[in-house]
């Protein structure tokens, strides 16, 4: 069975004290992970080492970076390289989150470079993809999101693509007042898996975890995650509240 993953994305929130309290509350909550379930915590850069020590020795729990730079090293003041992340034991990194694409103009080609660097350092990329409201309304969402995979991932070998996690974000359903249903999530996840299968075959496609990133919370997690091609969620706001995120965890298959 594919890994079922609850990934918390704290974004630019929480002080170190607040984040430590939040993580402690989640870790002390009453839940049990099965062998095929994982928790990821995408934490702001300054807290990666502190939070890594908090989950040391805990099964199926990992600290992730929210971003990395697309060059190996150099005169890029304020940026963080993949080798820096690797040197402190980080095993996962978000790549291409919709906010990075929108606010920092990250292109599919830039994201391909990030994916390459992550895999070279044995860091698993959580590759984010998704369409805007205008793309959804035009009916071109399948072609658009498929192209994101094509331009950023499809240069990879079967072995390397198998170490990538995909997270689908319906940008049109975040902050617009429109809601994506569990069925709409399943429809796009099934399409993404079919695109992967066309390129790499069914065996590879059926073993890649595809997460849903559209306003997942405690109340809807179980329904969304019950869809056959939805393998968990990339969770924003609900991951900042311990009780909410614990309910998300409990909703995993």
Q: Catalytic residues, which ones?
A: 97, 169
φ/ψ of 42, rounded to 5, equals: -85, 105
Per DSSP, the three-state class of 146 is helix
Residues 11, 19 contacting (CB under 8 angstroms): no
In angstroms, the CA 4 to CA 36 distance is 6
Q: Which residues contact 105 (CB under 8 A, 6 or more apart)?
A: none
Cα separation values, 196 from 162, 166, 231, Å = 11, 11, 15
Residues 29, 61 contacting (CB under 8 angstroms): no
Residues 63, 55 contacting (CB under 8 angstroms): yes
Q: Tokens 């095929």: give the residue.
A: 36
217: left (phi over 0), alpha (psi -120 to 50) or beta: beta
Question: Which of 92, 74, 103 has the alpha carbon at shortest distance from 211?
Answer: 92
């Amino acid at each position: 069975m594919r890994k079922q993953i609850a990934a918390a994305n704290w974004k630019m929130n929480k002080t170190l004290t607040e984040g430590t309290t939040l993580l402690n509350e989640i870790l002390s909550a009453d839940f049990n992970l099965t062998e095929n379930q994982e928790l990821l915590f995408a934490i702001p850069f300054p807290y990666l080492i502190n939070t890594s020590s908090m989950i040391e020795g805990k099964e199926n729990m990992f600290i992730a970076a929210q971003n990395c730079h697309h060059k190996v090293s150099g005169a890029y003041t304020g940026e963080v390289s993949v080798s820096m992340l690797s040197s402190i034991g980080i095993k996962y990194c978000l790549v291409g989150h919709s906010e990075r694409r929108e606010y920092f103009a990250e292109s599919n080609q830039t994201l391909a470079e990030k994916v390459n660097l992550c895999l070279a350092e044995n860091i698993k990329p959580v590759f984010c993809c998704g369409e805007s409201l205008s793309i959804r309304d035009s009916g071109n969402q399948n072609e658009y999101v498929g192209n994101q995979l094509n331009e950023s991932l499809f240069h990879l070998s079967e072995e390397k693509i198998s170490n990538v996690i995909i997270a689908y974000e319906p940008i049109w359903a975040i902050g617009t007042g429109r809601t994506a249903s569990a069925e709409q999530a399943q429809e796009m996840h099934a399409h993404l898996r079919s695109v992967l299968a066309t390129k790499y075959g069914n065996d590879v496609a059926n073993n890649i975890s595809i997460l849903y990133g559209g306003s997942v919370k405690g109340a809807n997690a179980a329904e969304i995650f019950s869809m056959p091609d939805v393998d968990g969620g990339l969770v924003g706001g609900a991951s900042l509240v311990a009780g909410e995120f614990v309910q998300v965890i409990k909703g995993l298959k």
